[in-house]
Amino acid sequence: MAAGVIGSLINRKALADSPKQIFNPFVFLFAAVLSMSGGLHGANTSNISGILAMKNFISTFGLGHLSASEKSNISGWVTSVIVLGGLIGALTSSPFNDRLGRKYTLLLQAVIYSVGTIIQLVASGNINQVIGGRAMQGFASGAGTVTGTLYLAEIAPKAIRGVLGAFFSTNIMLGVSLGYWVNYISILHINPDSYWQWRFPVLFQLYPGIILLCALPFMPESPRWLILRNKEQQALKALCRIRRLPEDHPYLLAEYNDISESVTAELEIAHSTSWAGLVTELRSDRTLLRRFILVMIVQIGFNFSGGNSITYYQTSILSTINVTSKDGAYLFSGVYGLMKVLAVLMYAFFCSERFGRRKMVLIGSAINILCVLWIAVYLGALAGHNTAAGWVAIAAVCLFAIGYGIGWAPVAFGLNGEVFPNRMRAKIMSLNIGMQYLANFCLTRFFPNMVANIGAFGPFTIFTVVSSVIWVYIFFALPETKGVAIEHMGALFGNHWFKNGLVKAPIQTTEIPNAPTPEEHAFDQDYKQDVVEVESKRV
């Protein structure tokens, strides 16, 4: 049994040249701490709808005296401002990641998140204070999504990069699930006239920020960032600490040289570190452009799978089968969130390195398509007069959680962190995560309008169509990335976009210093010629 679990955790091909010391408890602990950046996003998204409905919250902020439209408008902003803040945080995170490093940038984001939570906790009567605090939380969680996945991808051994990357999604889902359960506990055990009924769920949101603030000061910086900042000796020591290998170990030296040579070559292309240079390079390097478009579409697919909207609308689905009690709705939300957590854990420990990213996202998204299709059919034609179909719809919601947890949830974040070159990873990741937050904001803010204008089934019909189109694109465009070092990702995207998912690209091992794209190879030849000419002049 234990051997089977270990075999699922480790990519066997990448394991062939990997010493057992690199799979040490420290690297798993490090990943667990960094994945709390996912908790920043998960902990504050799931329980706000429940908080808004709590009696003391309504009386404290005077929401009971507002008209239905005014109350709906305020509730909409309280709910969606965190996504808007996340969009801004993701798009502005790159300069901090590049200048401060991954460690201190994430530490700063944890501070901002914690301050935003405390601002809400002490609010009394001013709803704008709650909105402002949630905007701060959103900014920090959006930026933390970029920094956390970037940091994780850069420290993970390639043989277990999939499972460590899944830690991030696990913490998002764990935060969501715990948020539901905290609401449920508050409803059951705290007096509805007590301000602690809504303050306790807000206080709960502090936990990922506190863990990051306590643990990050003791963590090493990313070796890749240290090399980018010409801190080679510190980078080597950091890599030794993470891998638990001596400085003269062949594997460690090979990995260090691999990173160093890749970063050195990238630094020679100085213009690419600017936003204008990034645009120029996207236009000139087709392999990079294919990666960028692919991951951008993956972020759209992640949101248009319908995950957030199902969470939003599950109470209405429950009401169609006469599950209308507040306790029942909160309990189902908790179970739904728990199923997402278990599904992501199943991906991490049994699927990510055994079956790979490509296969799992295709399977998981196919499950999601079938589920939202049934929900669309049910809400459009069967709701209200077919109880059996209603229970099938509830089963579809639960099955959706499993597909989401093994597909879009871990792959969308993990893929974004592992396929881009060092020199521009922070910038491209911020753009992609920004796209994810933009899509999330639009769906969160305008989902009720879609329901009002085209009916309850309409959004789920849209999700079915969009997800199906993206599934076809992923099938042709996404190659398998498991076991491939970050420095060698360019080799996977050398074919036309509609062939990359179907053709196996040659995989390089750690001992080979680089696997250049045609553009990078041409640059290397020109650079070597320039060096020869300069040296001849010196002589």
As a whole number, mean pLDDT of residues 30-58 equals 86
Counting other chains too, the contacts that 171-174 makes at CB distance below 8 Å and 24 or more residues apart are 171/35, 171/36, 171/37, 171/38, 171/39, 171/42, 171/208, 172/38, 172/39, 172/41, 172/42, 172/409, 173/42, 173/337, 173/340, 173/341, 173/343, 173/344, 173/405, 173/409, 174/39, 174/42, 174/341
Whether the per-residue pLDDT at 47 is higher than 90: the answer is no
As a whole number, mean pLDDT of residues 460-479 equals 94
Q: How far apart are CA 96 and CA 107, in angstroms?
A: 11
Q: At what angle do helices 387-406 and 307-319 cross, to 10 degrees?
A: 160
> Looking at per-residue confidence, does 12 or 475 come out higher?
475
**What's the pLDDT score for residue 425?**
76
DSSP character at residue 380: I
Closest of 254, 257, 251 to residue 227, by C-alpha = 257
End-to-end CA distance of the chain: 65
- Summarize pLDDT for 53-85 with one digit per residue, the tens: 888 999 999 888 888 777 777 877 888 888 889
Residue type present at position 14:
A
Kindly give, in sequence order, each residue whose CB lies less than 8 Å from that of residue 523, ignoring residues fewer than 6 positions away.
265, 268, 269
Q: At what angle do helices 357-377 and 387-406 cross, to 10 degrees?
A: 160
Tokens 């993970």 -> residue:
156
- Summarize pLDDT for 415-444 with one digit per residue, the tens: 877 888 777 777 888 888 888 888 888 887
Q: How far apart are CA 371 and CA 369, in angstroms?
A: 5
Whether the per-residue pLDDT at 136 is higher than 80: the answer is yes
Q: At 4, is the pLDDT very low, low, confident or very high (cuts 50, 70, 90)?
A: very low
| Averaged confidence pLDDT in the chain | 81
Q: At 265, is the pLDDT very low, low, confident or very high (cuts 50, 70, 90)?
A: low
Whether the per-residue pLDDT at 17 is higher than 70: the answer is no
Whether the per-residue pLDDT at 16 is higher than 90: the answer is no
| Burial of 497 from C-beta contacts in 10 A (0-12 / 13-18 / 19+) | middle
Whether the per-residue pLDDT at 520 is higher than 50: the answer is no
Tokens 């863990």 -> residue:
211
Whether the per-residue pLDDT at 451 is higher than 50: the answer is yes
**What's the pLDDT score for residue 394?**
84
Identify the CATH assignment for 284-506 out of 3.40.50.300, 1.20.1250.20, 2.60.40.1150, 3.40.50.720: 1.20.1250.20
Give the chain's radius of gyration (CA, Å).
24
**What's the pLDDT score for residue 273?**
58
> Looking at per-residue confidence, does 534 or 75 come out higher?
75
Does the pTM surpass 0.85? The reply is no
Handedness of CA 116, 118, 119, 125 (dihedral sign): positive
Whether the per-residue pLDDT at 101 is higher than 80: the answer is yes
Q: At 267, is the pLDDT very low, low, confident or very high (cuts 50, 70, 90)?
A: low
Q: Where are the domains of the chain?
A: 21-219, 221-272, 284-506
Whether the per-residue pLDDT at 266 is higher than 70: the answer is no
**What's the pLDDT score for residue 2?**
37
The answer to whether the 21-219 and 284-506 domains have the same CATH topology is yes
Token couple for 467? 């997800």
- For the CA atoms of 419, 44, 212, 360, the dihedral, rounded to the nearest 10 degrees, stands at -30
In this structure, are residues 518 and 526 in contact, taking their beta carbons and an 8 Å threshold?
no
Whether the per-residue pLDDT at 32 is higher than 70: the answer is yes
Q: How far apart are CA 383 and CA 368, in angstroms?
A: 20
Whether the per-residue pLDDT at 5 is higher than 50: the answer is no
- Summarize pLDDT for 301-350 with one digit per residue, the tens: 988 998 877 765 666 566 655 565 666 667 777 788 788 888 888 887 77
**What's the pLDDT score for residue 534?**
36
**What's the pLDDT score for residue 153?**
83
Q: At 268, is the pLDDT very low, low, confident or very high (cuts 50, 70, 90)?
A: low
3-state secondary structure 83-95: HHHHHHHHHCCHH
- Summarize pLDDT for 203-262 with one digit per residue, the tens: 999 999 999 999 999 999 999 899 988 899 999 999 999 999 998 898 898 889 888 887
Q: Does domain 21-219 have CATH number 1.20.1250.20?
A: yes
**What's the pLDDT score for residue 467?**
95
